[in-house]
């Protein structure tokens, strides 16, 4: 009897390495995000995340190369290359979303419900300590007009309730949203306005945004203005406007209870 020898095509080296590198990229990206959360947030601190995405891009390139080699030479490894490709696309999805926000949202890092007279941030020792001595700078009028065009629904919250009741409502809303309240000043005094200073943190990278809320009495009730400013970068990806909208929604929710 003659034994028939069956020769199997070898695995594509590009497919093998694309899978290895994609898995390695997943671990590196997870560790880099953890490192960013544990350290003081900064633009420079995002360097490990950028480095992790370089590995993702290389793994993606190897997966595409593997498909070409498999098609041309009949090598094995379609499953490996497909798995690596899908994993790379999943890892790249958040970066793609950030790119979409950069392209579609205005380059703002400070948003206020009062464009003409934004609430000023406190310069008290307690507030400066939490902000590490930083006071969000004043925004030129032309930049504020850009905000008005980009977020026309961001507007003052006008209530029929007196200032004291509105202040209590604003404080409850800030607490419900998980903001760290660092200073409060009840309505009264010469200006009659109350103020709440707070800090909010992002869910993933824990970047901090400074918030100040102003409550002013009116003849027919009260008015609440809120300002949210990012500490890092010149583009907030729409986060501050989203935070102000969440605050307004929370006020409406509490009023209905």
Nearest to 131 by CA among 116, 121, 139, 140: 121
Q: What is the pLDDT of residue 155?
A: 93
Say yes or no to pLDDT of 5 above 70: no
Q: 64-78, 189-203, 206-220 — which one is most confidently predicted on average?
A: 206-220
Q: 80-84, 106-110, 194-198 — which one is most confidently predicted on average?
A: 194-198
For residues 26 and 88, the answer to whether their CB atoms sit within 8 Å is no
Enumerate residues 6+ apart whose C-beta is below 8 A from 189.
none
Q: What is the pTM of this model?
A: 0.81
Q: What is the pLDDT of residue 113?
A: 94
Q: What is the mean predicted confidence (pLDDT) over 74-99?
A: 88
Residue tagged 């490996």 (tokens) = 80
pLDDT digits (tens, 9 = 90+) for 31-81: 888 887 777 666 777 788 888 899 999 999 999 998 888 888 777 778 888
Architecture per CATH, 110-256: 2-Layer Sandwich (3.30)
Q: What percent of the chain has pLDDT over 90?
A: 47
Q: What is the mean pLDDT of the chain?
A: 87
The C-alpha R_g of the chain, in whole angstroms, comes to 26
Under the banding of pLDDT at 50, 70 and 90, the label for residue 22 is: very high
Two tokens, residue 42: 């900064």
pLDDT digits (tens, 9 = 90+) for 130-187: 888 888 888 887 778 888 888 988 999 999 999 999 999 999 999 999 999 999 999 8
Say yes or no to pLDDT of 1 above 70: no
What's the sign of the alpha-carbon dihedral 40, 246, 134, 46?
positive
Under the banding of pLDDT at 50, 70 and 90, the label for residue 90 is: very high
Q: What is the mean predicted confidence (pLDDT) over 99-112?
A: 89
Three-state helix/strand/coil letters over the chain? CCCCCCCCCCECHHHHHHHHHHHHHHHHHHHHHHHHHHCCCCCHHHHHHHHHHHHHHHHHHHHHHHHHHHHHHCCECHHHHHHHHHHHHHHHHHHHHHHHHHHHCCCCCEEECCCCCCCCCCCCHHHHHHCCCCCCCCCCHHHHHHHHHHCCCCCCEEECCCHHHHHHHHHHHHHHCCCEEEEEECCCCCCCCEEEEEEEECCCCCCEEEEEEEEEEECCEEEEEEEEEECCCCCCCCHHHHHHHHHHHHHHHHHHC
Under the banding of pLDDT at 50, 70 and 90, the label for residue 21 is: very high
Q: Residue ranges per domain, the chain?
A: 13-104, 110-256
For residues 101 and 242, the answer to whether their CB atoms sit within 8 Å is no
Q: What is the pLDDT of residue 6?
A: 43
């Amino acid at each position: 009897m003659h034994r028939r020898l069956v020769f199997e095509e070898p695995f594509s080296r590009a497919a093998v390495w694309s899978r290895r590198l994609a898995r390695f990229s997943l671990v590196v990206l997870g560790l880099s995000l953890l490192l960013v959360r544990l350290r003081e947030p900064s633009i420079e601190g995002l360097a490990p995340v950028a480095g992790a995405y370089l590995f993702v891009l290389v793994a993606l390139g190897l997966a595409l190369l593997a498909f070409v080699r498999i098609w041309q030479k009949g090598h094995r490894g379609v499953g490996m290359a497909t798995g690596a490709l899908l994993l790379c696309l999943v890892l790249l999805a958040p970066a793609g979303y950030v790119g979409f926000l950069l392209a579609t949202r205005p380059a703002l890092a400070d948003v206020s419900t009062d464009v003409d007279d934004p609430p000023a941030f406190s310069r008290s020792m307690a507030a400066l300590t939490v902000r590490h001595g930083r006071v969000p700078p004043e925004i030129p009028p032309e930049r504020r007009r850009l905000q008005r065009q980009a977020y026309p629904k961001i507007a003052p919250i006008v209530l029929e309730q007196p200032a004291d009741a509105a202040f209590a409502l604003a404080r409850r809303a800030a607490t419900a949203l998980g903001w760290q309240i660092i200073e409060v000043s009840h309505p009264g005094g010469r200006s009659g306005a109350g103020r709440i200073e707070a800090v909010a943190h992002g869910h993933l990278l824990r970047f901090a945004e400074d918030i100040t809320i102003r409550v002013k009495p009116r003849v027919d009730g009260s008015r609440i203005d809120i300002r949210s400013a990012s500490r890092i970068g010149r583009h907030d990806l729409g986060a501050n406007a989203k935070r102000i909208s969440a605050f307004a929604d929370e006020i409406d929710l509490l009023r209905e209870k």
